[in-house]
Amino acid sequence: MSKESLEIQKLKLEIKKLNLPFWKNLEFWKVAFPTIAVIASLYFTFGKGLIDSEKAKLEIQKEQLKLDITRFEMKKDELSKTIVVKDSVKNRLQIQIENYEKYKKSLLDKIEILNNSLGNSRNEINNLNNKNLRDKKFYENKLFTEYQNEKQRLVELDKLEEENYNKNLKIAEINAEVKYLNSKIKLTEEEKLNLSILKNEASVQQYNKHMNSYKERIKKLDAEYQKELERIDKMSSDELFKEFQLQILKYNAEK
């Protein structure tokens, strides 16, 4: 066999090898095994480092998580204590609010009672004031009636005194005339004039005396009336009632 034939045969074998699937190719495995070994070695080396790194990270995260859990537990305890304190404060506040509401209700009840009592007191005061006004008006009218009656009696007395005065005046004139005539038997015009003057002076003196007495009695009666009004103004209902009874007894006794 020639060299060329050998080369051709060799090429055919090479072509046949190339046409085989790669897993059936021995050359492939010759190259693949070292490559896989190198890749596996690299993967193991880098993978182990990566795993160790991840493991370290996980350990750090685990410790951090434990720390967070511890902090959470502490925070939980603090919150629990805070909640307990808040609940206690809330309960105390609730009790205080209930006590305040009870006290408020008690005050409102007392205010209502006082308002009712005040209303009743006002009604009683108004009734007493009205009664006092009625009693006062009644006694004032009664006193005024007595005053008018007394005044009328004084008027009648004045009439009697006036009649007496006229009589006394006439007597005084006669006495003056007699006295003058005793000294003068025959009267001249001048003597008659003097006699008239004496008679007039005697009449004026008697009249002035009578009027002064009358004015004094009226003034005294007015003063007594005003004094009685002031006394009645200061009286209570009971005192006015007693006064009324006394006046009735006095009035009946005078009748």
Domain boundaries, the chain: 3-83, 133-254
Taking the whole predicted model, whether its pTM rises above 0.95 is answered as no
Do 229 and 140 contact (CB within 8 A), yes or no? Answer: yes
151 closest CA partner among 225, 208, 213: 225
CB atoms under 10 Å from CB of 207, counted, come to: 13
Token readout for 111 is 């205010």
Distance CA 222, CA 102 (A): 65
Mention every residue, 6+ apart, whose C-beta is less than 8 A from residue 191: 180, 184
Do 166 and 203 contact (CB within 8 A), yes or no? Answer: no
Do 247 and 142 contact (CB within 8 A), yes or no? Answer: yes
For position 181, what pLDDT does the model report?
A: 64
For position 205, what pLDDT does the model report?
A: 79
Token readout for 164 is 């007496």
151 closest CA partner among 219, 224, 218: 218
Do 243 and 232 contact (CB within 8 A), yes or no? Answer: yes
What 194-199 contacts at long range (C-beta under 8 Å, 24+ apart), as own/partner pairs, is 199/172, 199/173
The list of the chain residues with pLDDT below 70 reads 1-4, 7-8, 10-34, 37-38, 40, 42-54, 132, 135-136, 139-140, 143, 160, 163-164, 167, 171, 174-175, 177-188, 191-192, 210, 244-255
For position 59, what pLDDT does the model report?
A: 79
For position 99, what pLDDT does the model report?
A: 83
